Structure 1
Amino acid sequence: MNTAQKPRYTWQNPEWPRYHYDVQALATSLAQARHKLEQLEIKLRAIGLVQGDADAMARDIWVQEALATAAIEGQQLDTDQVRSSVMRKLGLANAGISARHIDGLVEVMFDASHDLDTQLHAEQLCRWQAALFPHGISGMQRIQTGQFRSFEDAMQIVSGKIGKEIVHYRAPDSAHVAALMDNFLAWFNAPPEQTHHIDGILRAAIAHLWFETIHPFEDGNGRLGRAIIDRALAQDSHIRSLGIAGFTAMSRTLLHQRKAYYDALNAAQTGGLDITPWVEWFLQQFIAACAGSEDTIQQALRKSQFWIKHAHSNFNPRQRKTLQKLLDAGDGGFAGGMSAEKHSKITGASKATATRDLSDLLRQGALLSYGVGKATKYAIDVEGWHLDLRGVG
Structure 2
Amino acid sequence: HLWFVTLHPFDDGNGRIARAIGDLLLARADGSPQRFYSLSAQIQRERKAYYDILERTQKRSMDVTEWLAWFLDTLHRAVDQAQHILDAVLTKTRFWQRWATTPLNERQVKLLNKLLDGFEGKLTSSKWAAIAKCSPDTALRDINDLLARGVLRKSDAGGRSTSYVLVESVPGEGA
TM-score bin (small chain) = 0.7 to 0.9
**Matched residues in 2 for 1:326 and 1:228: separation?**
38
**Matched residues in 2 for 1:260 and 1:353: separation?**
48
1:376 is aligned to 162
Residues 262 and 363 of structure 1, relative CA distance in 2, 3 Å threshold: farther
**Matched residues in 2 for 1:375 and 1:272: separation?**
60
Give the Å deviation of 1:342: 1.6
**Where does structure 2 lack aligned partners over 5 or more consecutive residues?**
171-175
Residues 319 and 373 of structure 1, relative CA distance in 2, 3 Å threshold: farther
What's the TM-score, normalizing by structure 2?
0.76
- Which amino acid is 1:377 matched to? S
SS of the aligned residue for 1:322 comes to: helix
1:243 is aligned to 33
% identical aligned pairs: 29
**How many pairs align?**
167
Give the Å deviation of 1:309: 0.4
**Matched residues in 1 for 2:131 and 2:53: separation?**
41
SS of the aligned residue for 1:242 comes to: coil
From 137, 141, 165, give the equivalent of 1:352: 137
SS of the aligned residue for 2:123 comes to: coil
What's the TM-score, normalizing by structure 1?
0.37
RMSD value, Cα: 3.1
Matched, 1:339 2:128: no
Alignment of structure 1 residues 265-304 onto 2, 5 Å: 265-304=54-93
1:365 is aligned to 150
1:22 is aligned to none
**Matched residues in 2 for 1:377 and 1:227: separation?**
48
**Matched residues in 2 for 1:227 and 1:378: separation?**
47
Q: Is the 8 A contact 2:43 2:50 kept in 1?
A: no
**Matched residues in 1 for 2:9 and 2:151: separation?**
52
Residues 254 and 298 of structure 1, relative CA distance in 2, 3 Å threshold: same
1:184 is aligned to none
**Where does structure 1 lack aligned partners over 5 or more consecutive residues?**
1-203, 385-393
**Matched residues in 1 for 2:10 and 2:128: separation?**
45
Give the Å deviation of 1:338: 1.1
Q: Is the 8 A contact 2:147 2:153 kept in 1?
A: yes
Residues 260 and 228 of structure 1, relative CA distance in 2, 3 Å threshold: closer
Higher relative contact order, chain-length normalized (CA < 8 Å, sep 6+) = 1
